[in-house]
Amino acid sequence: MQNTATPTHCPYCALQCGMNLTPAPDGTVEVSERTDFPVNRGALCGKGRTAAAVLARDVRLTSPLVRDEGGALVPASWDEALERIAEALRRTRAEYGPDGVGVFGGGGLTNEKAYTLGKFARVVLGTSQIDYNGRFCMSSAAAAGIKAFGLDRGLPFPLEDIPRTGCVILVGSNLAETMPPSLRFLTELKENGGTLVVIDPRRTKTAEQADLHLAPRPGTDLALALGLLHLVIAEGRVDEEYVQERTVGWEDARAAAMAHWPEYVERITGVSVPQLRETVRLFCEPESAMVLTARGPEQQSKGTDTVGAWINLCLATGRAGRPLSGYGCLTGQGNGQGGREHGQKADQLPGYRKLDDPAARAHVAEVWGVDPDSLPGPGRSAYELLDALGTDIRSLLLMASNPVVSAPRAAHIEERIRSLDFLAVCDVVLSETAELADVVLPVTQWAEETGTTTSLEGRVLLRRQAVTPPDGVRSDLEVLHELAARLGVEKGFPTDPEEVFEELRRASAGGAADYSGITYRRLAEENGVFWPCPAVEAEEPAGSPSPATGSADPTADTAGRSAVVGDPASRPAAGDATGPAHPGTPRLFLDRFATPDGRARFVSVSHRATAEEPDDEYPVLLTTGRVVAQYQSGAQTRRVTELNAAAPGPFVELHPRLAARLGAAEGDPVAVVSRRGRAVAPARITNAIRPDTVFMPFHWPGEGRANSLTNPALDPTSRMPEFKTCAVRLEAVRP
């Protein structure tokens, strides 16, 4: 590659911040500001600034590894490694059938790789047993969004709308540490006269910015939302005209909310009645308002109902499908949105089609050139798939995930992985999961390949190759191409990402997540394109609304429109379209919702306890989350010196009263014990957390592994595990 700056995007969270990469003569890569991208305007967090450190040869894999007779992982040729995998998959299928083979993907894979992995599982392996770690990210919000709106897209509006609304209720999100460049949108909100309500059991750096901070007991967000809706009804703040014209199901939802009177909700949540009333006032008095949720309310065994209750609040007050108002989910993983849209999830086909829909199967099968009846049906969700390893599922192909650290009840999942007949892992580094593999394949990473991702806004972006990968490293697309050929499928698995994207466009056409009007050429010229973006026929005027979701751009602010979607008149035609390109859809639902009748659905929900409440043996609540200097399972960020200096290891955050009862001082080792395991980490004593709650970050393996403790109780709809709350006891660790 030439030593010139390449505009691209950060490999970490779903903001997908813009950055420039410049190779240096000494082999390193310089990360610099890219001010033209509207999401971060050049700002980068520490992870983004140091992202190029993982490109160095001494921190990443550069040769395939295979398990030798003595049990050690040793270097091998690509031919040997690929043949070992192919032979193991053939053997497993022959002995146990197609579903004896499992496939587990990741939210960091590009759209092209996620699409190809789903196709590989269903066409080459014939297995239904595929899911991905994005199930652990925002599946509850996705399920609730589909129930209410008929469509799931993390944010139905661009981030730039946030500073222009009147009030934001931020539920279970610590943007200051999880997505630092996005905090400016909340700062600008307040500068513009808007208000911010933060709901979190901890007084985080984000909560410190709030006009009002509510600190509910973990696992009670559902009751809190219902209590707020009760007050909206009691105080006469329901937008009756909106409810009548644009929704259905209000009467049942209203009756459920009226059973959650303020004093009852105060007893459940610990949030006082005056705070509940003030929240309703701040939310209802402006002309516009938003609710944004993240993992806090979503990673619960009742996460779908909890998000549904917050959506009900938006619908009852007319705060959905209107300019500068709405419900949105802050997707966490870099391509968590696109990763589930195009076939990694157990029940989905490309374009966000349902695998059990005959029309969807027929459409995708035609693109793939296979018989629809040959496609398997829906399989297990992520945790259920991992829990079946070594029993129903005997061999596993795993890409871009580290469940030994990231899965709930992690010690149990580690045992299930160890019990497999065969494990193959494709990764950039030797993660804790890769260390258990029979074959490890070194694959290219973000700066070494071109591909698309989809941000939390639903903005499809082009990541450009900036550097040449080291010798001995191949792309995931090459891996799947080679394995498909060795397993008897020699066509249909191209290695060129643009060729894959062209097929993805056709497969997604007409689906909920329609990318058919998006091309690499457009993405190279624009700052992303918001889906749905169908290909446009000549007679259809540019900027026509998506048939299912509403106006492509409803705002009257021409300057704002140009900044988001560009000038449609200047665009090239998209692919097979013969007319001007569709402008994309930055804002959804303004004309109608994506339901058959165009109306949003209220969902009647009621508070229920978490799957595991405290008792005499386990009297404290544990909640988990992230710190600013590490990311997800830490497999990559823990290899960066600067980030390790800022966040060197796990800790247990606890209130001074709890620490005093335990006899623990700052820095003392504390054991946190649940019904599933034990973790030990230094105490971090602070008034910023509830006295009945402790917090642990989940980025580290070993004795401080927070997910040794977490509860795999699953949401009945989304199959999301209950990461955010479980019952624990604390023990002082004496020398």
**pLDDT above 70 for 550:** no
What is the pLDDT at residue 537? 64
- Confidence class of residue 183 from pLDDT cuts 50, 70 and 90? very high
pLDDT tens, residue by residue, 354-401: 999 999 999 999 999 999 999 999 999 999 999 999 999 999 999 999
What is the pLDDT at residue 69? 94
Q: Determine the Cα–Cα distance for residues 133 and 224; give it in Å rounded to an integer.
A: 28
- Confidence class of residue 581 from pLDDT cuts 50, 70 and 90? confident
Can you give the pTM of this predicted structure? 0.93
**pLDDT above 50 for 420:** yes
What is the pLDDT at residue 734? 82
Contacts of 348 by beta carbon, 8 Å cutoff, 6+ apart: 118, 340, 341, 354, 355
Q: Determine the Cα–Cα distance for residues 705 and 728; give it in Å rounded to an integer.
A: 14
What is the pLDDT at residue 685? 98
86 sits in which H/E element: helix 78-96
Residue that the structure tokens 């305007």 belong to: 41
Greater pLDDT, 556 or 218? 218
pLDDT tens, residue by residue, 658-674: 999 999 999 999 999 99
Q: Compute how many other C-beta atoms are within 10 angstroms of the C-beta atom of residue 92.
A: 24
Tell me what the mean pLDDT of segment 295-300 comes to: 95
The hierarchical CATH code for the domain 65-136+335-495 is 3.40.50.740
- Confidence class of residue 85 from pLDDT cuts 50, 70 and 90? very high
Q: Determine the Cα–Cα distance for residues 145 and 59; give it in Å rounded to an integer.
A: 40
| Cβ–Cβ < 8 Å for 636, 56 | no
Q: Determine the Cα–Cα distance for residues 640 and 161; give it in Å rounded to an integer.
A: 34
Tell me what the mean pLDDT of segment 693-714 comes to: 98
Q: At what angle do helices 111-119 and 476-486 cross, to 10 degrees?
A: 20
**Distance (Å) of CA 319 to CA 313, 325, 640:** 8, 5, 43
- Burial (CB < 10 A; 0-12, 13-18, 19+), residue 137, is buried
Q: If phi over 0 gives left and psi between -120 and 50 gives alpha, with beta otherwise, what is residue 255?
A: alpha
Question: Among candidates 9, 723, 12, 721, which has minimal Cα distance to 333?
Answer: 12
Question: Among candidates 602, 625, 533, which has minimal Cα distance to 137?
Answer: 625
Task: Look up residue 469 and give its two tokens.
Answer: 């990968």
| Cβ–Cβ < 8 Å for 499, 340 | no
**pLDDT above 90 for 554:** no
pLDDT tens, residue by residue, 22-70: 999 888 999 999 999 999 999 999 999 999 999 999 999 999 999 999 9
Task: Look up residue 676 and give its two tokens.
Answer: 């599933």
pLDDT tens, residue by residue, 494-545: 999 999 999 999 999 999 999 999 999 999 999 999 999 999 863 333 333 3
Per this entry, what is the length of the chain? 735
HSE (CB half, 13 Å, CA atoms) of 431? Answer: 28
pLDDT tens, residue by residue, 207-229: 999 999 999 999 999 999 999 99
| Cβ–Cβ < 8 Å for 295, 172 | yes
Contacts of 177 by beta carbon, 8 Å cutoff, 6+ apart: 204, 205, 206, 626, 627, 628
| Cβ–Cβ < 8 Å for 568, 581 | yes
The CATH architecture to which 620-732 belongs is Beta Barrel (2.40)
Fold classification of 155-329 (topology level): Dimethylsulfoxide Reductase; domain 2 (3.40.228)
What is the pLDDT at residue 406? 97
HSE (CB half, 13 Å, CA atoms) of 602? Answer: 27
Question: Among candidates 319, 51, 286, 290, which has minimal Cα distance to 159?
Answer: 290
**pLDDT above 90 for 704:** yes
Q: Determine the Cα–Cα distance for residues 115 and 94; give it in Å rounded to an integer.
A: 26
Tell me what the mean pLDDT of segment 543-569 comes to: 35
Task: Look up residue 262 and give its two tokens.
Answer: 């303020």
- Confidence class of residue 332 from pLDDT cuts 50, 70 and 90? confident
Q: Please give the backbone phi and psi of residue 616, each rounded to the nearest 5 degrees, phi first.
A: -65, -35
Question: Among candidates 578, 439, 576, which has minimal Cα distance to 74?
Answer: 439
Max Cα–Cα distance, the chain, nearest Å: 78
Q: Roughly how many angstroms between the first and final C-alpha of the chain, as a whole number?
A: 55
pLDDT tens, residue by residue, 118-157: 999 999 999 999 999 999 988 999 999 999 999 999 999 9
Tell me what the mean pLDDT of segment 563-581 comes to: 41
**pLDDT above 70 for 342:** yes
Tell me what the mean pLDDT of segment 606-629 comes to: 97
Distance from CA of residue 569 to its chain's centroid? 34
Tell me what the mean pLDDT of segment 267-275 comes to: 98
Average pLDDT in the chain: 93
Q: Determine the Cα–Cα distance for residues 609 and 223; give it in Å rounded to an integer.
A: 10
Tell me what the mean pLDDT of segment 91-111 comes to: 97
Task: Look up residue 57 and give its two tokens.
Answer: 């040869």
- Burial (CB < 10 A; 0-12, 13-18, 19+), residue 524, is exposed
User: In the chain, what are the domain boundaries?
Assistant: 65-136+335-495, 155-329, 620-732
What is the pLDDT at residue 27? 86
What is the pLDDT at residue 558? 28
